[in-house]
């Protein structure tokens, strides 16, 4: 049954919303997956701030074009699914990778989009190897804190040395006074 122009316009708008709200898009070939498997995939992605749809490719290309984003047409093979990854790219990509291991040949990552860059299959799969958002934030805090702790050590070293010198002097004087008494 053909889709009316109004329905196509609504689909394009929903695709544009999903694209605009995602930080990356991973394209998959999902021929042969059962409804139950797709529901499991969507559930896994939802837990990781991501979503998954099977879209009309021509309408998705149009939505990407309207947002001035490149179209990874070479990755749109067969029954194409689109995983829209949220702020934590690694978590969503890892969920896709885990599902791909479970599904085997029925689910293949074919490419993706990261910003304005088109990714091939290996580039899209490499998103799963990124550290999670929490790990990245911890690394950033450590990188910022390291110079500050070094500065504190440098600034407190003369005071610490002076205290040690005075304590040694007190011990030496205190030791001689105790022997004289």
Q: Can you give the pTM of this predicted structure?
A: 0.69
- Name beta bridge partners: 24: 85, 114
Can you give the residue range of the structural domain that contains 156? Answer: 131-181
In this structure, the answer to whether residues 135 and 158 fall within a common structural domain is: yes
In this structure, the answer to whether residues 90 and 114 fall within a common structural domain is: yes
- Residue 82 in contact with residue 124, Cβ under 8 Å? no
pLDDT the model gives residue 133? 67
In this structure, the answer to whether residues 15 and 89 fall within a common structural domain is: yes
Rounded to whole angstroms, the Cα distance separating 45 from 52 reads: 7
The 10s digit of each residue's pLDDT in 31-88 is 888 899 999 999 999 998 899 999 888 899 999 999 999 888 878 877 889 999 988 8
In this structure, the answer to whether residues 29 and 113 fall within a common structural domain is: yes
pLDDT at 179 over 60: no
In this structure, the answer to whether residues 100 and 174 fall within a common structural domain is: no
CATH code of the domain covering residue 40: 3.30.70.1730
In this structure, the answer to whether residues 121 and 135 fall within a common structural domain is: no
Looking at per-residue confidence, does 151 or 13 come out higher? 13
In this structure, the answer to whether residues 35 and 45 fall within a common structural domain is: yes
The DSSP letter of residue 31 is: T
* Residue 86 Cα to chain centre, angstroms: 8
Cβ neighbours of residue 117 closer than 8 Å, sequence gap 6 or more: 70
The 10s digit of each residue's pLDDT in 121-142 is 878 777 777 666 666 666 667 6
pLDDT the model gives residue 51? 93
In this structure, the answer to whether residues 87 and 113 fall within a common structural domain is: yes
Instruction: Using CB atoms within 10 Å of the CB of residue 113, give its burial: 0 to 12 exposed, 13 to 18 middle, 19+ buried.
Output: buried
Domain count, the chain: 2
The 10s digit of each residue's pLDDT in 14-37 is 999 999 999 999 998 888 888 999
**What mean pLDDT do residues 107-123 have?**
85
In this structure, the answer to whether residues 97 and 65 fall within a common structural domain is: yes
In this structure, the answer to whether residues 71 and 109 fall within a common structural domain is: yes
Q: Between the ranges 137-141, 152-156, 165-169, 176-180, where is the mean pLDDT highest? A: 165-169
**Residue 111's pLDDT band (boundaries 50, 70, 90)?**
confident
| Boundary-marking domain end, from 109, 130, 151 | 130
In this structure, the answer to whether residues 121 and 153 fall within a common structural domain is: no
In this structure, the answer to whether residues 91 and 159 fall within a common structural domain is: no
pLDDT at 159 over 70: yes
pLDDT the model gives residue 153? 75
The 10s digit of each residue's pLDDT in 139-153 is 667 677 677 777 677
């Amino acid at each position: 049954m053909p889709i009316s122009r109004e329905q196509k316009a609504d689909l394009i708008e929903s695709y544009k919303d999903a694209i605009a709200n995602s930080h990356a898009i991973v394209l998959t070939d999902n021929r042969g997956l059962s409804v139950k498997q797709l529901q499991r995939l969507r559930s896994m992605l939802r837990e990781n701030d991501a979503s998954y749809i099977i879209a009309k490719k021509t309408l998705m290309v149009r939505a990407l074009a309207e947002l001035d984003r490149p179209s990874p047409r070479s990755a749109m093979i067969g029954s194409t699914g689109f995983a829209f990854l949220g702020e934590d790219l690694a978590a969503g990509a890892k969920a896709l990778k885990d599902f791909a291991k479970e599904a085997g040949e029925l689910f293949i990552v074919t490419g993706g989009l990261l910003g304005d860059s088109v990714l091939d299959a290996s580039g899209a799969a490499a998103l799963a190897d990124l550290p999670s958002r929490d790990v990245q934030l911890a690394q950033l805090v450590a990188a910022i804190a390291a110079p500050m702790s070094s500065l504190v050590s440098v600034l407190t070293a003369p005071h610490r040395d002076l205290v040690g010198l005075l304590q040694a002097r007190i011990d030496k004087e205190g030791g001689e006074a105790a022997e004289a008494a």
